[in-house]
Amino acid sequence: MSRTLVFAHRGANREAAENTRTAFDKALAYPIDGIETDVQLSRDEVAVLWHDRDLKKLKLPGKHIDDFDHAQLRAMDFAAHFAGSGASEGVMSLQEFIAAYRARCRLLLEIKIRDWEVTARGELKVRQTLELAGAATDDRILVSSFNSAGLAYAQRIAPAFPLVLNLEPEHDLNDARRALDMQPFLHGLCMHISTLDADMVALLRGRNKSIAVYTCNTDEEISRALVLGVDVLISDVPQKALQMREQYC
């Protein structure tokens, strides 16, 4: 990658309800490079887009995506919690998302593998995501997860697919080094912007790995990511990141 790519975090999530078609379309009104989104499974095993661990935003506290079938999720309004939302929007499936956006920008698909899930269900989520993404001929579609076991499974069934391990904000340089030692197949790491520094960049560049950072929203965060030359900058305010990137080019 010749310059830092700007990815809209769950679409333009400050202009529309996150992970909805409206949010994705609004994000693409800017010259963004990519979109980051989140993959979960409905009860009847359809891959859908939703970030949170529960459905509190839909006034269903204690309920999860996998408590409902896909048809039920389609009938819910996943935009109602966003102030000023327009028409009702049911959950978007991963299949719909990839079909609608893969030709328009790069995609970063974060697979949410939950603690309460049995291993087989997490692996099904991985298989569905990889199958829908198709063969990996380049890095226009990346798959990421905070779950290293899920990524190890993904590598076994699709060895060539570019996989990214997400690090928590508390993970430091030693954690990053350990992750790369244990999973050398990784395409790269995606880390919290607070942990990004020159030493972290040197580690990943020394191993020829890509660097992604989340979630860069302030001027200081965006500037640090750009100055250190990350590959992917994930932001809730992609328009600001794009403007600042122009200043660094």
Q: Enumerate the domain spans of the chain.
A: 5-248
Q: Which fold has domain 5-248?
A: TIM Barrel (3.20.20)
Say whether pLDDT at 1 is over 60. Answer: no
Taking the C-alpha atoms of residue 137 and residue 156, their distance in angstroms, rounded to an integer, is 17
Say whether pLDDT at 2 is over 80. Answer: no
Task: Lowest mean pLDDT of 34-38, 69-73, 132-136, name the range.
Answer: 132-136
CA distances, 27 to each of 8, 103, 221 (Å):
6, 15, 20
- 156 near 126, Cβ under 8 Å? no
Taking the C-alpha atoms of residue 93 and residue 40, their distance in angstroms, rounded to an integer, is 9
Say whether pLDDT at 209 is over 80. Answer: yes
Q: Average pLDDT, whole number, for the chain?
A: 96
**pLDDT tens per residue, range 7-54:** 999 999 999 999 999 999 999 999 999 999 999 999 999 999 999 999
**pLDDT tens per residue, range 78-115:** 999 998 877 899 999 999 999 999 999 999 999 999 98
**pLDDT tens per residue, range 153-176:** 999 999 999 999 999 999 999 999
**pLDDT tens per residue, range 211-240:** 999 999 999 999 999 999 999 999 999 999
Question: How many other CB atoms are there within 10 angstroms of residue 206's CB atom?
Answer: 9
Say whether pLDDT at 191 is over 90. Answer: yes
For tokens 């900058």, the residue is 233
Say whether pLDDT at 137 is over 90. Answer: no
Q: What backbone phi and psi angles, to 5 degrees, belong to 133?
A: -70, -30
